């Protein structure tokens, strides 16, 4: 038989979907890692069910992993899938709307029983024979039974055998896209080195799926060649891991011990876990009994001379609010990471949102100014964790770092940073010269000196009561309170002198400026690039520094006739901009579905404004 030709593609979107126990996250991660290792650019989006133990086989229990890999730079996990792997009827029903017309759907026909079809709420008794599938290439594979056949002599119990079916599905997709098996097999050898029976079983099933696809030749083979990206040493990284590593780098550059005091909360827990595992780098981690204990332990560590971190998500930031005010009035350095999720209250704990912006900027009692920074890609969570630490340590202030569920769980290749290339971090410690005045300030930055217990001659009061200017003694003098309030505000305002100028990407002579912040960057950049390729003039200004805003922000805004602010909330950044620069008009495009933007909907709304 003649070998079938291989078709070359620029980029492909795949979604793996099934029950929570079907291993879709692992399957997608292995495909992503393999693609990254052979040189493709990759962006991923894991989609977890909100219920911890949703009924098996129901739409509410569907877990998914979407990835976009390509021969060019990839900024998003993609809007619609070229290939959907659906391990049961619920996964098919939940994701059919996200498959491109003409796309390929791979289903495990063994799972399409009457019982499972009914549990999924399908209208048809046999959804695979529905007319709605006329536009798709359906590959019906008995994945479960073929997995059992492959492992019938393995000696494993039935439950362990069935759990391996995700690797059969992965083998099929590896064949379709000419991916090597060796990297996943190396993963098995590392993960199951103490369980040789499981190790061999996974290898066998992976190869069985690959050979099955080769045998049936249900579709052509495709190749996505390596991307032309900047030279360097890369690894695939998610936003939470990158955030943790940014803190490790900052502690090294500041030559300070790192302390994290946190309470586990989805989707921020992984930062605590990653830092807790780095005792070899001197990290001290405290898993607190609640959110308040987490932050106040970090404040105590800061007072004692540590670089201090606390991590949380939206409801936890609300609980930490009073203690953030304590750090503000005591003027102690601290980084608070808020990995935003859908709210209010418990809300959508596994879904993404940008609805904590105003809480971060103004959500405290009294006049309690805090710098606010937002990361915008999974990999640059590293950079902004480092930058948040640098600002906190050099300006004696708590700093709020905003990421979100999309960034935290999403991955992309990261060009590993040489720490020697990072800027120095110089905390303003008391040098022991002259009389120590706790609230004497540098005339340029308004930053006070940092003294911790054990520094001779630097004894001083600390706490939540108002301080007397210079001496730090408790003060109820009305005029002094206003003086100290103004100085704390001025200190934060002057940080504008050390942050970068705001950039604009796109057409300098456009009428329309798209404005975004945080984790929407990849989708906004892709939308703007595609519109420009289609002949439209448009520009993008995406913000990472929220408070204070970069010094040239107004100069940018006044150059454009139309400004469109795009956010995964009801318009919080637009409201904030109206507070700061009320002289300009801001149109809005907002989405609050627990999902990131799609490039398609962004282009539609941007184009509408361009044509007005």
Q: What is the pLDDT of residues 134-143, one digit of tens each?
A: 789 999 999 9
Q: Percentage of residues in the chain with pLDDT exceeding 90? A: 89
pLDDT in tens, 441-458: 999 999 999 999 999 999
pLDDT of res. 423: 96
Residue 395: inside a domain, yes or no?
A: yes
Residue 423: inside a domain, yes or no?
A: no
What are the Cα distances from residue 485, in Å, to 320, 329, 462, 478?
21, 9, 17, 11
- Point out the least confidently predicted range of 2-16, 402-416, 481-495, 543-557: 2-16
Pair (12, 44) in one structural domain: yes
Residue 421: inside a domain, yes or no?
A: no
pLDDT in tens, 143-179: 999 999 999 999 999 999 999 999 999 999 999 999 9
Pair (471, 578) in one structural domain: no
Half-sphere exposure of 31 (CA within 13 A, CB side): 37
Q: What is the DSSP string of 543-579?
A: ESEEESPPTTHHHHHTT-SEEEEEESSSSHHHHHHHH
Q: Percentage of residues in the chain with pLDDT exceeding 70? A: 99
| 3-class SS of residue 274 | helix
92 vs 447: CA distance, rounded Å: 57
CATH number, domain with residue 78: 3.40.920.10
pLDDT in tens, 190-208: 999 999 999 999 999 999 9
Residue 69: inside a domain, yes or no?
A: yes
130 has a pLDDT exceeding 80: no
5 has a pLDDT exceeding 90: no
Mean pLDDT calculated for residue range 201-218: 92
pLDDT of res. 135: 83
Final residue in a domain of this structure, among 498, 529, 552: 498
pLDDT-derived band at 100, boundaries 50, 70, 90: very high
Give the residue ranges of DSSP H helices in 364-465.
381-395, 405-409
Pair (493, 512) in one structural domain: no
pLDDT-derived band at 432, boundaries 50, 70, 90: confident
222 vs 100: CA distance, rounded Å: 17
How many other β-carbons are positioned within 10 Å of the β-carbon of residue 186? 11
Pair (295, 205) in one structural domain: no
Final residue in a domain of this structure, among 498, 518, 548: 498
pLDDT of res. 131: 66
Mean pLDDT calculated for residue range 286-297: 98
pLDDT-derived band at 4, boundaries 50, 70, 90: low
Largest distance between two CA atoms of the chain: 93
Total number of domains constituting the chain: 4
CATH number, domain with residue 385: 3.40.50.970
Pair (509, 603) in one structural domain: yes
> What contacts 528, CB < 8 A, 6 or more positions away?
505, 506, 514, 538, 539, 540, 606
Q: Identify the H or E element spanning 18.
A: strand 11-19
pLDDT of res. 1: 39
Mean pLDDT calculated for residue range 583-591: 98
pLDDT in tens, 497-521: 999 999 999 998 999 999 999 999 9
Q: Identify the H or E element spanning 404.
A: strand 398-404
pLDDT of res. 3: 56
Give the residue ranges of DSSP H helices in 396-501.
405-409, 478-493
CATH number, domain with residue 540: 3.40.50.920
Final residue in a domain of this structure, among 480, 498, 516: 498
Taking each helix axis from N to C end, the angle separating 381-395 and 239-254, rounded to the nearest 10 degrees, works out to 40
Pair (451, 351) in one structural domain: no
Half-sphere exposure of 584 (CA within 13 A, CB side): 26
Residue 287: inside a domain, yes or no?
A: yes
Mean pLDDT calculated for residue range 119-129: 84
Pair (148, 210) in one structural domain: yes
Residue ranges making up the domain that contains 449: 428-498
The separation between the first and the last C-alpha atoms of the chain, rounded to the nearest angstrom, is 58
Pair (445, 519) in one structural domain: no
- Residue 48's region, left for phi above 0, alpha for psi from -120 to 50, else beta, is beta
Pair (460, 382) in one structural domain: no
Residue 230: inside a domain, yes or no?
A: no
pLDDT-derived band at 401, boundaries 50, 70, 90: very high
369 vs 353: CA distance, rounded Å: 23
Residue 328: inside a domain, yes or no?
A: yes
Pair (296, 358) in one structural domain: yes
The 3-state DSSP composition of the chain as helix, strand, coil percent (nearest 5) reads 40, 20, 40
Pair (537, 463) in one structural domain: no
Pair (211, 306) in one structural domain: no
| DSSP symbol at 342 | B
- Across the chain, mean pLDDT equals 95
Mean pLDDT calculated for residue range 65-70: 97
pLDDT of res. 221: 82
7 has a pLDDT exceeding 90: no
């Amino acid at each position: 038989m003649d070998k079938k030709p291989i078709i070359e593609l620029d980029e492909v979107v795949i979604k793996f979907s099934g029950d929570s126990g079907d291993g879709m996250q692992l399957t997608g991660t292995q495909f992503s890692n393999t693609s990254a290792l052979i040189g493709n650019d990759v962006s991923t989006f894991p989609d977890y069910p909100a219920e911890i133990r949703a009924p098996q086989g129901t739409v509410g229990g569907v877990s998914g992993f979407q990835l976009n890999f390509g021969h060019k730079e990839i900024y998003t996990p993609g809007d619609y899938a070229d290939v959907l792997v659906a391990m049961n009827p619920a996964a098919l029903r939940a994701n059919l709307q996200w498959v491109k017309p003409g796309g390929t759907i791979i289903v495990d026909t063994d799972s399409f029983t009457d019982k499972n079809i009914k549990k999924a709420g399908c209208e048809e008794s046999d959804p695979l024979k529905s007319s709605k599938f006329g536009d798709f290439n359906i590959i019906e594979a008995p994945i479960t039974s073929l997995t059992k056949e492959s492992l019938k002599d393995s000696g494993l119990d039935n439950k362990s055998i069935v759990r391996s079916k995700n690797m059969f599905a992965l083998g099929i997709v590896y064949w379709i896209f000419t991916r090597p098996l060796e990297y996943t097999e190396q993963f098995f050898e590392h993960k199951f080195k103490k369980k040789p029976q499981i190790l061999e079983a996974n290898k066998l099933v992976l190869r069985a799926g690959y050979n099955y696809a080769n045998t049936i030749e249900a579709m052509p083979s495709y190749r996505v060649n390596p991307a032309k990206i900047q030279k360097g040493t890369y690894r695939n990284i998610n936003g939470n891991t990158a955030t943790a590593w940014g803190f490790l780098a900052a502690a090294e550059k500041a030559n300070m011990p790192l302390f994290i005091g946190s309470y586990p909360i989805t989707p921020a827990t992984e930062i605590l876990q990653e830092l807790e595992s780095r005792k070899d780098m001197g990290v001290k981690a405290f898993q607190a009994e609640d959110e308040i204990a987490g932050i106040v332990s970090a404040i105590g560590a800061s007072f004692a001379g540590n670089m201090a971190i606390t991590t949380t998500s939206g409801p936890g930031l609300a609980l930490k609010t009073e203690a953030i005010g304590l750090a503000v009035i005591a003027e102690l350095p601290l980084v608070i990471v808020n990995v935003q999720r859908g709210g209010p209250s418990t809300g959508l704990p596994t879904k993404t949102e940008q609805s904590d912006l105003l809480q971060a900027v103004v959500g405290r009692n009294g006049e309690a100014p805090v710098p606010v920074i937002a990361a915008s890609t999974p990999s640059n969570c590293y950079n902004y964790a480092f930058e948040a630490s640098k600002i906190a340590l050099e300006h004696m202030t708590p700093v709020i770092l905003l990421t979100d569920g999309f960034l935290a769980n999403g991955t992309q290749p990261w060009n590993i940073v040489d720490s020697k290339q990072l800027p120095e971090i110089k905390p303003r410690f008391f040098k022991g010269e002259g009389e120590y005045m706790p609230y004497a300030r540098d005339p340029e930055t308004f930053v006070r000196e940092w003294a911790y217990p054990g520094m001779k001659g630097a004894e001083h009061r600390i706490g939540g009561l108002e301080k007397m200017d210079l001496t730090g003694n408790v003060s109820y003098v009305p005029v002094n309170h206003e003086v100290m309030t103004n100085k704390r505000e001025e200190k934060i305002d002057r940080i504008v002198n050390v942050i970068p100028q705001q950039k604009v990407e796109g057409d300098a002579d456009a009428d329309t400026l798209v404005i975004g912040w945080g984790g929407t960057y990849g989708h906004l950049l892709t939308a703007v690039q595609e519109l420009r390729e289609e002949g439209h003039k448009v520009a993008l200004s995406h913000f990472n520094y929220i408070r204070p805003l970069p010094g040239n922000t107004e100069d940018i805004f006044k150059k454009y006739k139309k400004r469109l602010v795009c956010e995964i909330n009801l318009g919080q950044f637009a409201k904030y901009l109206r507070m700061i620069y009320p002289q300009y008009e801001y149109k809005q495009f907002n989405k609050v579905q627990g999902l990131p933007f799609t490039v398609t909907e962004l282009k539609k709304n941007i184009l509408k404004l361009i044509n007005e």
